[in-house]
Amino acid sequence: MTSPALAQHLIAGELTGDAVTERRNPAHVDAVAVLAPEGGKAEMDAAIAAAVDAQRAWATTSAPARGAVLLTAAHLLTDRKAQIAEDLVREEGKTRAEAEGEVTRAIGVFQFFGSLGWASSGSVYPSGMPNTTVSTRREPLGVVGLITPWNFPIAIPAWKAAPALISGNAVVLKPAEITPMSATHLGMALRDAGLPAGVFNVVHGRGSLVGDVLARDPRVAALSFTGSTAVGLQLQQILNARRARAQLEMGGKNGVLVLDDADPRKAARVVAAGAFSLTGQACTATSRVYVTPGIRRAFLDELTALAATYVPGDGLDATTTMGPVVSDAQLQRDMSAVQDAIGSGARLLHGDASADGLHFAPVVATEVAHDAPFATDEIFGPIVAVLDVDDYESGLAAINDSPYGLTAGICTDSLARSTDFAGRVQAGVVKVNRPTSGLDLHVPFGGIKDSSSNTFREQGHTATEFYTWEKTVYTGVE
């Protein structure tokens, strides 16, 4: 039996903390995957103080030198990829291929933001005043807090930390309780890459305790959060009250519209990949599909056949194509959503409300009311509701009739329809003939409505805007 991985806090450059909490492997719940410390107010205070102490020197380090550290971290993550991915599978449950893909994403993020050390970070303008030029520069905010979820336990911390660090901020990360090892690996890679002590800190512990302390501390200039809408909105109040900058990326209920002119097999592949990859545990996962009458039957046949091809199991087994549900709490949520849907008259074309351990087969449900919780509330499992609509306009209206607005998709051969959809759908990301999940790292990402604070976008060049403020400098030369 493999011995548990050991997660630790990273505070002021030191790995610390006694292993007092156990994280079980979701594929084998009797096996301990990770031992981790549980931080409290003292650890969070120490991490914020270390970040305050380290930040000025880091901000005055040249941007190319800061970038070089991030590029070295990318190299180290590359060297350690197999081990990090294996630990990630054990603590979170996704398949090895999905975990390696996630580590590759983190590497790409550090490469992208590392190279920004050489990029322009301001503009020069002519002035209306004589013998004067005007320039802008971007200043770091100081110390920033990051609070992250379990479903992308290394990629999300990476895509928040890298733009913060290249911009000259110091960081305190509070990762999700159930995935402490991935964040520890990230901390070790940055430390080993030569990041000065205190510039990047990790404190494990309960969100309602250490996350709350991080959000309330006046030394923390800004907080970037990804997680559930309920927690995000709570944090928004705390941050607004102390006028700290907030970036909140939250839940989703992502819809796809499948039109009669689409190829049913291709549309089913798009929907299955969006709904069932990562065990449906992606904020961008497809969870409701609207179909027009002419394609309904063929599309459902194809989707049901594809659902049957997934092989649930331990993500480290080569034959597994769907890892377990992350936790018993999430499994209960998945099963009760399906149970409620059955109780309300839904028909299941694949899957049911039962599980083997935390292994849960994909669910395809039809005959669901448009306003049933199954079709309106985020579930976060490999579960998709297929609902009927009369035509394009009613499908578009159904997708927009949601408090969420993260991703949305359309399957169609019509350029006119897809162009109209891209313009009118209420979502931060639109996918035409592509799964709602799966994103490039160099383009803006974020939601609208209850999916996001919709203030600053993550990823790509625009990500640095959240972590900086713009200053305008007039220079007179007589």
Residues annotated as part of the active site: 283
402 binds ligand NAD (CB under 6 A): no
The answer to whether 67 and 116 are in contact (CB under 8 A) is yes
CB atoms within 10 A of CB 192: 14
Half-sphere exposure of 50 toward its Cβ, with a 13 Å CA cutoff?
A: 24
290 binds ligand NAD (CB under 6 A): no
CA 69/CA 245 separation, integer angstroms = 26
CB of 237 to ligand NAD, least distance (A): 11
Half-sphere exposure of 407 toward its Cβ, with a 13 Å CA cutoff?
A: 25
Among 252, 382, 409, 435, binds ligand NAD (CB under 6 A): 252
Distances (CA, A) of 449 to 156, 248, 368, 380, 419: 21, 11, 24, 18, 22
Task: Name which of 89 and 262 has its Cβ closer to ligand NAD.
Answer: 89
Stretch that binds ligand NAD, among 7-15, 58-66, 111-119, 247-255 (CB under 6 A): 247-255
CB of 186 to ligand NAD, least distance (A): 14
Stretch that binds ligand NAD, among 21-29, 105-113, 143-151, 346-354 (CB under 6 A): 143-151
CB of 353 to ligand NAD, least distance (A): 21
CB of 195 to ligand NAD, least distance (A): 22
Tokens of 25: 């492997």
Binding mask 203-232 for ligand NAD (x = CB under 6 A): ----xx--xx--x----------xxx--x-
Task: Name which of 228 and 400 has its Cβ closer to ligand NAD.
Answer: 228
The answer to whether 301 and 328 are in contact (CB under 8 A) is no
CB of 389 to ligand NAD, least distance (A): 24
For β-strands 170-174 and 200-202, DSSP reports them as parallel
Place of tokens 């203030």: 455
Among 14, 53, 86, 177, binds ligand NAD (CB under 6 A): 177
CB of 60 to ligand NAD, least distance (A): 31
Stretch that binds ligand NAD, among 74-82, 97-105, 133-141, 172-180 (CB under 6 A): 172-180
b/e sequence 301-336, b meaning 16+ C-beta within 10 Å: ebbbebbeebebbbbbeeebbbbbbbbeebbebbbe
Question: Total residues contacting ligand NAD (rule CB under 6 A)?
Answer: 30
409 binds ligand NAD (CB under 6 A): no
17 binds ligand NAD (CB under 6 A): no
CB atoms within 10 A of CB 81: 17
DSSP state of 57: H
Helices (H), 143-221: 155-166, 180-192, 212-216
b/e sequence 220-243, b meaning 16+ C-beta within 10 Å: bbbbbbbbbbebbebbbeebeeee
Among 38, 91, 102, 249, binds ligand NAD (CB under 6 A): 249
Q: Under the rule (CB under 6 A), what is the footprint of ligand NAD? A: 147-151, 174-177, 207-208, 211-212, 215, 226-228, 231, 234-235, 249-252, 283, 378, 380, 406, 447, 451
